[in-house]
Amino acid sequence: MGLAALFLATLSALYYLRLYRHPLVRRLSMEPMELLRLAPAQLPQARKLLTRTRRLDSVLRAAGVEGSALDSALEHGGQSAKERARQLAARLGVTAEALTGGLWRLGLGDGFPLNLNECLLCLPDDKQPAPALLSALAAEPETANRVVVILHPAESEQSRPHKAADDPGNLYVAPDAAGMTALLLSPDPVDAFSRIISAQIRLTRISPYQTGGGARRESMFFGRGQLIAHVMNRDLTNYLVVGGRQLGKSSLLQALARRYRDHPGVDCYYLGLHDATLVPYLARELGLAADTDLEALIAHLGQGEAGHRALFLIDEADEFVAAEVARGYATLRKFRSLSEEGRAYFVLAGFWELYRHVALDYQSPLKNFGEVLQVEALEPEACRSLATEPMARMGIGYREEAVLARLLEATGGRANLISIACNEILKKLGALKAEERRRHIDEEDVREALASRNMHMALDGWENAISDDPSEARLGRMVVYATVSAGRFDLGGLAGALEAAGAGRIPTRDLEKTLELLSLAYLIGEEDGEYHYRVPLFRERMKKRAPERLLADEVAGSA
């Protein structure tokens, strides 16, 4: 009896020794994240082995995988297309709409990390051969010019669409087996889905980096936490948002609009003006006739539901403000009365025209209209996030910290320049031949992006954009041309440099006002009476354009 017990104990020990030494158990015990890289067909065995070795809970916990997600993943391949679409949509936090041809439309929304508002989901049954599936997709009108994600439940059939998706001539996405598991198990399924799409769709088509018009997608809005909190954590009031062009005023207003979207008791409207006209745009937003006049608009706002307030975020307001000055601020006086009554509130964003009448015109009623918020550089950590997080969502990283540091230092905290550089980098990576493709950014990529035509256009656009007044713009250009080579200067040195260039004696107050203009434009900064250039890349660019000759041309042209 003793020998029999010993024999059984030995067999049991050998069994468990073999079980614990199983390659899959050892692999997942040492690296729990490897669970997300298994093929779906390996998941049943992995769960069985980990359960028997009592390591399932610890591996799932270390990998950040919910037990319910593993259960759903194990059931996924055997479910109907409708159930699979519902499950995937739920994991991504989006909606799935059934279309013709066995397709589903996923509405991805503005929170999706890539520049992709929707995609199609193709979920064939396990008996449909891949060649027939690809032929059907090619003939299906719904797929024209749309990204199609193909998820075949049979791994042997998925390999054909996966290979077809590498052809840049189509818009197919078909992950390999490990990609499918990551989509089903990842603690961040949206990130996993983004990486899957980015691996097979041209980067230029899905680049999340916008180079104008503000950050319309929440996933691309970084920083400005203090400004957002300052507005959101207080009772509604009026604000005047000032700052240079392309510094992020539009992004800030659009971010506020998204945050007020579901705010109880507040109806928020975002308007981007194109000229001095405002009332017709407000009327349209409120559902009124386009010919509604100011008095009728004010009356409508004054009759709003008790406890319900309107908030208007008015972007590009400079021309409107200039027209208001000529009208004696007739519209803004009435708007202020509405705010005092608690009916409607207004946030106006603009550049020099708005700033001029807020900061430099001491008789302007705008001084009492609302609180001034100035938008300057993006916070350093937000700059880093803007340059790295969208890239990481596409599986792209910087080869070395020094490469990233060069990009951030050169762009000087300007979000638009970071976005332009990153977009140029994605263009280059996306254009590489198949055998040259890589998912890292090196020093040469950054150098070429900073020297690109689009970057030069962004850097050179300041000369006429700093002011609509030709004389102000000309003096602003002369100040830059006279000082950019030295880099640092004071008011006296500036006056002397302009006189030496033949510009004559320029009134000190005019120079001070011009320095304020250039500071608001985020071209220069001031510390203890000494001025410096804020964006190294801008200064590098200007030094190559022969600023001394440009100054001489300006002086000759103003004679």
CB burial of 29-67 (b: ≥16 within 10 Å; e: otherwise) equals beebebbbebebeebeebbebbeebebbeebbeebebee
Separation CA 141–CA 158 (nearest Å): 22
Instruction: Give the rounded distance of the alpha carbon of 474 from its chain centre.
Output: 34
| pLDDT(126) > 90 | no
Across all residues in the chain, what is the average pLDDT?
88
Amino acid at 318: D
- 526: β partners: 531
**Per-residue pLDDT reduced to its tens digit, 37-84:** 999 999 998 898 888 888 889 989 999 999 999 999 988 888 888 999
**Per-residue pLDDT reduced to its tens digit, 502-531:** 988 999 999 999 999 999 999 999 999 899
Q: Indicate the pairing of strand 95-98 with strand 103-107.
A: antiparallel
Give the contacts of 488 (CB within 8 A, at least 6 positions apart): 530, 531, 532
Q: Domains, the chain, ranges and CATH?
A: 78-206 (no CATH), 224-374 (3.40.50.300), 380-459 (1.10.8), 462-558 (1.10.10.10)
pTM of the complete model = 0.85
Average pLDDT over residues 409-433: 91
What are the CB-based long-range contacts (under 8 Å, 24+) for 258-264?
258/110, 258/218, 259/228, 259/232, 260/311
The pLDDT > 90 percentage for the chain reads 47
Backbone φ and ψ for 267, nearest 5 degrees, come out as -100, 110
| pLDDT(187) > 70 | yes
| pLDDT(220) > 90 | no
Average pLDDT over residues 278-304: 85
- 314: β partners: 271, 348
Give how far Cα 367 sits from Cα of 234, 358, 452, 554, Å.
20, 5, 42, 35
Q: Indicate the pairing of strand 488-489 with strand 530-533.
A: antiparallel
Helices (H) and strands (E) in the chain, counts: 29, 15
Instruction: Give residue 370's pLDDT band: very low, low, confident or very high (50, 70, 90).
Output: confident
pLDDT value of residue 366: 82
Place of tokens 């996993």: 192
Separation CA 96–CA 174 (nearest Å): 18
Instruction: Give residue 195's pLDDT band: very low, low, confident or very high (50, 70, 90).
Output: very high
